Amino acid sequence: MFGSAAMMIDDFAFARALHVLALVHWIGGVAMVTTIVLPRARALPDAHAALTAFEAFEGRFATQARFSILLAGLSGFYMLDKIQAWARLLDSTFWWLGLMVVVWAAFALMVFVLEPLVVHRVFREYALRDKERAFALAIRLHVVALTISGVAIAAGVLGAHGALP
């Protein structure tokens, strides 16, 4: 518990608040990249200008997203451990919990491993060869990731409040 006797904040509630804040920042950033940054970069006539515009935003956001993804993972782990809910990951009734973990793991793998080691270089080379197709693919992949993330967030909120059958 945090705070004085007059204002106590339960540690689980605090972890949930951190979890939600991390998700708002992380997935909100994904939404901005998907709906604003990538389409704007794609609209630029020159591949070098498009990459420069995209990388200027993406480079700064990637560092912030790594922090938010780490915070979401740590707070989620804490909440599962606090209420000893590990078995729920194997219970089909709590499918939404598994979906949240899968989304988190996919993004963590992407931003901590694949993007810095492979994706950045491969996308850059592809965009320099065929800007239109590279950015169209990036937008489609981001739309899929954003859609699945949105479903996971909505299902997680509903599931955590007992509103899913």
pLDDT at position 9, please? 78
Neighbours of 111 (CB within 10 A): 20
Terminal Cα distance for the chain, rounded: 32
- Tell me what pLDDT residue 7 has: 61
pTM: 0.90
At 165 the pLDDT is: 78
The identity of residue 30, as a single letter, is V
- Per-residue pLDDT of the chain (165 residues), as tens digits, is 555 555 677 999 999 999 999 999 999 999 999 999 999 999 999 999 999 999 999 989 999 999 999 999 999 999 999 999 999 999 999 999 999 999 999 999 999 999 999 999 999 999 999 999 999 999 999 999 999 999 999 999 999 999 987
**What is the rounded distance in angstroms from the CA atom of residue 38 to the CA atom of residue 142?**
9
Query: What pLDDT is attached to residue 114?
Result: 97
Query: DSSP character for 119?
Result: I
Q: Is 84 left (phi over 0), alpha (psi -120 to 50) or beta?
A: left
